[in-house]
Structure 1
């Protein structure tokens, strides 16, 4: 085989599929890699704290096992790898308040962390391995992405402050899109639903580097400081621990993205915030993902692409729609209303569904009417030049 190399200074040619689908719902086993930089002299404290946490993690449903490793070259560098039956159990665990409380003691001895998550595609098996390692499947085929990483943050503001908050968020100056030679901000979309704010960003390159770049911009810091009096959760951006806890709770990961690869410069971006019943957010996100996969294969669908974000019972669906949510095709598709056979299940997942105190009919029309209230108000949607 002939090996070709590309100089570091030249951009890599990306293979982009017309139909892009990225999802946590394929049932594949998950490998989580956590890179940890420990303060000099705090290695023993870090080890003792980790030992206290490990016994708790072992009892989390879906957790298969993990390893803690220390660098042979730099004693301050540690590596934690954990394996999970699939991505949803891990995401439920890592976004829980219990997890936030448990990892707090680590912050005093850790300088920096970086979390990477991978579905297992291939592995070498050994006959002596126990049955536990066989739980969970392998990803059947490699995915082809579009080179864009999608992430969102969400937080709530004090009721009655929505108008002032919207004005602040709409009026800020966009940061420089170029982060470094390999990372670039592509798009930022801000929405309000009641007193909930959702900020969705699209990045090419390193997401963590992009988030740090944005946080360091004076114009962004000024807006964030101006928002502080309106937030329901207090934060002090000058206090690293306060900022860390706030952004940990605000993280809204993308759990599914699909696009048929068709581009339309006139497409409109919309967001919907679905009221999931307690403990049903992940299943609701999965049902919406299944709906959007089918819509992506329908050439008549008005939805060009969709991204679903989920954390606990917060489920947000971002859609780019040809000509608006009702300009083409069935508006129920834009709303995320599944086929008639799944309508009953959807009503059991939505808070205020057929069994709720403010129930609505378990029909297409009843659900479509209810989901109208899920539409979020667009605050601002900004694309970087040449994004």
Structure 2
């Protein structure tokens, strides 16, 4: 094998692909790593509680198995690793009310947790296993990211309070973007759709550290306290358990992101809401992701960047569009469904009652009405100066 060296005078640079695609829909097996810090002296209580919960987890569809480990250096540190057939079954379960109720007994003995999710790319198998078995369920190739983590939170406010909530959320002072030496906030975009609020954030570095940083800012806490009376779900930010449950239910993870490979500083950011029929949220998000992948390879597409967030039957698509969302002239393009066959499938997945449309958004005027009904109202879109 021949190797080449880089002259000392030439700086080393990272190779970054302009076309970025990150997705939970590639069918690869998923490894979930949960780091747990237990209160001193609560190790036995934690183990007994975990034993009571284990049988429930084992029966969850898509769950393949897991291990519970304890640190040999610090008895307060535990590690739970679990394997899943793919990411969608895990995401469906971890966002369910069943999961919220199931893990509640752990909170009395756990100081902190951190969850990491990985697709399986390569693994070592028994030598007697065939090559096909060794490759089964593995991610085909490494994905190339852009160094940005995308996440969103969503919650509903009492009907009639939307204007007051929008004013509160639009007027707060932006927190310091620098979190630490490795983490910073890049962009925060906030939208309203009816009485539903969606706050999307982009972070470089540690997402959890960024979320904690924002929550600790006095100006942010003041706004959150002012919003509390308008929330449909009660919360008490001074009560760690109340805050934990609220933000667990509010989490709206990014399930797909694709960037077309070019940037346009004049691109407009929009958010579209796709209320799904009960049980259809994940399939709807996957359908949209397939179309966004195709659009990213089409130089004629006005959509430069798309992120799909999904939890249960809430599906939100955040798009950066060249020239504005109406520039294409075809509402199907803006909706992410230029393929007539997929427009037809959309009619079986969308909850018409929830999005305010009368009947399925099939073609023509009905599709234009669907676009108008899906568009969310921008409250604020703030980008860090050097993001």
8 Å CA contact 1:185, 1:384 repeated in 2: yes
Contact (CA 8 Å) 2:124, 2:134: kept in 1 or not? no
The C-alpha deviation readout for 1:332-387, integer Å capped at 9, x for no partner, is 21122240121221100001289999313533552332232010000000000110
1:38-77 deviation line (CA, Å, top 9, x unaligned): 0000001000111111100101100000000000000000
> Is 1:104 the equivalent of 2:104?
yes
Q: Is the 8 A contact 1:63 1:83 kept in 2?
A: yes
Q: Structure 1: give runs of 5+ residues left out of the alignment.
A: none
2:208 aligns with 208
Give the direction of change, closer, same or farther, for the CA distance of 1:74–1:131 in structure 2 (3 Å limit): farther
User: Do the aligned partners of 1:347 and 1:354 also contact (CA within 8 Å) in 2?
Assistant: no
CA contact (8 A) 1:30 1:87 kept: yes
Q: How far apart are the structure 2 equivalents of 1:41 and 1:340?
A: 61
Q: Does the 8 Å CA contact 1:27/1:136 hold for their aligned counterparts?
A: no
Q: Structure 1 residues 244-253 or 346-355, which shifts more? A: 346-355
CA distance in 2, matches of 1:371, 1:89: 29
Deviation, 1:330, is 3.5
Kept in 1, the 8 Å contact 2:357–2:373? The answer is: no
Q: In structure 1, the residue corresponding to 2:355 is in which secondary structure?
A: coil
Q: After the TM superposition, which of the residue ranges 324-333 and 311-320 deviates more from structure 2?
A: 324-333
Q: How far did residue 13 of structure 1 move? A: 5.2
The more displaced of 362-371 and 227-236 is: 362-371
Indicate the SS of the match to 2:274: strand
User: CA, structure 1 residues 332+362, in 2 after alignment: closer, same or farther (shift >3 Å)?
Assistant: closer
Whether contact under 8 Å (1:122, 1:138) holds in the other structure is yes
Distance in structure 2 (CA, Å) of the matches to 1:277 and 1:166: 27
Corresponding residue of 1:380: 380
Normalised by the size of structure 2, how large is the TM-score? 0.93
How many residues were matched structurally?
A: 387
Of the structure 1 ranges 8-17 and 285-294, higher mean CA displacement relative to structure 2 is found in 8-17
Going from structure 1 to structure 2, the CA distance change for 1:315 and 1:19 (only over 3 Å counts) comes to same
CA distance in 2, matches of 1:379, 1:336: 23
Q: 1:273 to 1:11 in 2, by over 3 A?
A: farther
Greater shift, 327-336 or 254-263, is seen at 327-336
| Cα displacement (A) at 1:129 | 8.7
Deviation (angstroms), 1:124: 0.5
Contact 1:276 1:313 (8 Å CA) reproduced: yes
Q: For 2:7 and 2:216, how far apart are their aligned partners in 1?
A: 30
Please list the CA deviations of residues 173-226 of structure 1 after superposition, one character each: whole Å capped at 9, or x if unmatched: 000000000001000000000000000000000000000000000000000000
Alpha carbons of structure 1 residues 233 and 300: separation in structure 2 relative to 1, 3 Å: same
Q: 2 CA distance for matches of 1:380 and 1:191?
A: 7
- Cα distance in structure 2, aligned partners of 1:368 and 1:166: 26
Query: Once structures 1 and 2 are overlaid, which stretch shifts more, 170-179 or 1-10?
Result: 1-10
The SS at the match of 2:15 is: coil
Contact 2:306 2:319 (C-alpha < 8 Å) held by counterparts: yes
Structure 1: distance between partners of 2:116 and 2:2: 31
Judging changes above 3 Å, is the alpha-carbon distance between structure 1 residues 163 and 350 closer, same or farther for their aligned structure 2 residues?
same
Distance 1:8 1:42 in 2: 54
- 2:125 touches 2:134 (CA, 8 Å); kept in 1? no
8 Å Cα contact 1:257/1:306 also seen in 2: yes
Q: Is the 8 A contact 1:302 1:329 kept in 2?
A: no
Output the CA distance in 2 between the equivalents of 1:325 and 1:126: 53
**1:117-160 residue CA offsets vs partner (Å, 9 max, x unmatched):** 00000001126899999896100000000000000000000000
1:364/1:338 Cα in 2 relative to 1: closer, same or farther (>3 Å)?
A: farther
Q: 1:349 is matched with which residue? A: 349
**Structure 2 match to 1:69:** 69
Post-superposition offset of 1:11: 13
Q: Is the Cα contact below 8 Å between 1:15 and 1:144 reproduced in 2?
A: no
Deviates more, 1:325-334 or 1:56-65: 325-334
Q: CA RMSD in A?
A: 3.3
Pick closer, same or farther for the CA change 1:361–1:76 going to 2, 3 Å: closer
Counterpart contact for 2:25–2:87, Cα < 8 Å: yes
Q: Note the residue ranges of structure 2 that are not aligned, 5 or more in a row.
A: none
Does the Cα contact within 8 Å between 1:335 and 1:368 map onto a contact in 2?
no
Structure 1 distance, partners of 2:123, 2:187, is 37
Structure 1's 134 and 46: CA in aligned 2 closer, same or farther, altered over 3 A?
farther
Q: Tell me by how many angstroms 1:326 deviates.
A: 1.3
